[in-house]
Amino acid sequence: MYDFNKKVVVITGASRGIGETAAHQFAKAGATVVVSSRKQDSIDQVAEDIRKLGGKTHAIVCHNGDKTSRERLISQVVEQCGRIDVLINNAAANPYFGPVLDTGYDAMKKTIEVNIEGYFHLSQLAGQQMKKQGSGVIINTASVNGADPAPMQGIYSVTKTAIMAMTRSFAKECAAHGIRVNAVLPGLTDTKFASALTQNEAMLKMILPQIPMGRMAQPEEIAPAYLFLASDQAGYITGVNLPVDGGFLA
């Protein structure tokens, strides 16, 4: 359905979950996919799996909370691939699950560095390259928590709300340069990242009744939203925060 031949797609947090699934789907659609995460062995495995299926890929390490690492990622992508057509900011940190008043300073700082500073800076760096090209797409992974903060996930929810505002801000300023900026808001999804919720029966009993579809999502159900927003079919869509949540925010 989608054609990403000759397109270079950079995905952070691509070693597992939604990021890994999106990487496979973009590769299947013809893109050269740059998979990135903190650990080389993890993304090497994802890249190997993509190549076995005939896809084109590069694996480049990036710690989303480190300025030098972010700069190195973008420079290496441009050096190896010549351009950046799509940036998917998907890496995230959520080191603390508990009462907001008890949130440790280090956990707060790490969550902000990865989820806000990392997204903002990578969007700047990729956006500068896209401006030179005259086109590009940036897609941020926010969360339904950004629209409706969840109990015990205070600082994480705050950063996801910031990402939603960031998406609209970049969209308004970057449209003149041919750059579209949108966000995907996943609902509860069966990933290792969300295991504090998906493996907690008490939490599931509280959350699932709030989802009209009555179940959590699989990564394969979230990833297509990124392909659509990155595609030419979404050419007039920018500044949108798109929930993919089984009706949770309805």
- Residue 210's CB is within 10 A of a number of other CB atoms, namely 15
Rounded to whole angstroms, the Cα distance separating 174 from 32 reads 24
Asked, for residue 181, whether it belongs to a domain, the answer is yes
The model's pTM is: 0.96
Is 119 part of the annotated catalytic residue set? no
> What does the pLDDT read at residue 175?
98
Asked, for residue 28, whether it belongs to a domain, the answer is yes
Rounded to whole angstroms, the Cα distance separating 234 from 220 reads 20
Domain at 229, CATH number: 3.40.50.720
> What does the pLDDT read at residue 79?
98
Task: Determine what percent of the chain is predicted with pLDDT higher than 70.
Answer: 100
> Is the pLDDT higher at 60 or at 197?
60
pLDDT at 247 over 90: yes
Q: Which residues of 162-183 are buried (b: 16+ CB within 10 A; e: fewer)?
A: bbbebbbebbeebeeeebbbbb
Rounded to whole angstroms, the Cα distance separating 1 from 138 reads 20
Contacts of 221 (CB under 8 A, 6+ apart): 189, 244
Asked, for residue 183, whether it belongs to a domain, the answer is yes
Query: What is the domain extent for residue 95?
Result: 8-191+219-243
State the pLDDT confidence band at 203, using cuts at 50, 70 and 90.
confident
**Total of domains in the chain:** 1
User: Exposed, middle or buried: residue 250 (CB in 10 Å: 0-12, 13-18, 19+)?
Assistant: exposed
Asked, for residue 198, whether it belongs to a domain, the answer is no
Asked, for residue 2, whether it belongs to a domain, the answer is no
State the pLDDT confidence band at 69, using cuts at 50, 70 and 90.
very high
Q: Are 34 and 10 in contact (CB under 8 A)?
A: yes
pLDDT at 196 over 80: no
> Is the pLDDT higher at 236 or at 196?
236
Tokens 């005939």 -> residue: 54
Rounded mean pLDDT, 58-73: 98
Asked, for residue 59, whether it belongs to a domain, the answer is yes
Locate 35 and state its tokens.
């998979």
pLDDT digits (tens, 9 = 90+) for 109-164: 999 999 999 999 999 999 999 999 999 999 999 999 999 999 899 999 999 999 99
Of the candidates 2, 96, 119, 156, the residue annotated as catalytic is 156
State the pLDDT confidence band at 75, using cuts at 50, 70 and 90.
very high
Would you state the torsion angle of the CA atoms of residues 99, 150, 140, 21, taken in this order, to the nearest 10 degrees?
100
Q: Are 11 and 42 in contact (CB under 8 A)?
A: no
State the pLDDT confidence band at 103, using cuts at 50, 70 and 90.
very high
pLDDT digits (tens, 9 = 90+) for 213-240: 999 999 999 999 999 999 999 999 999 9
pLDDT digits (tens, 9 = 90+) for 3-43: 999 999 999 999 999 999 999 999 999 999 999 999 999 99
Asked, for residue 197, whether it belongs to a domain, the answer is no
> What does the pLDDT read at residue 200?
80
Asked, for residue 25, whether it belongs to a domain, the answer is yes
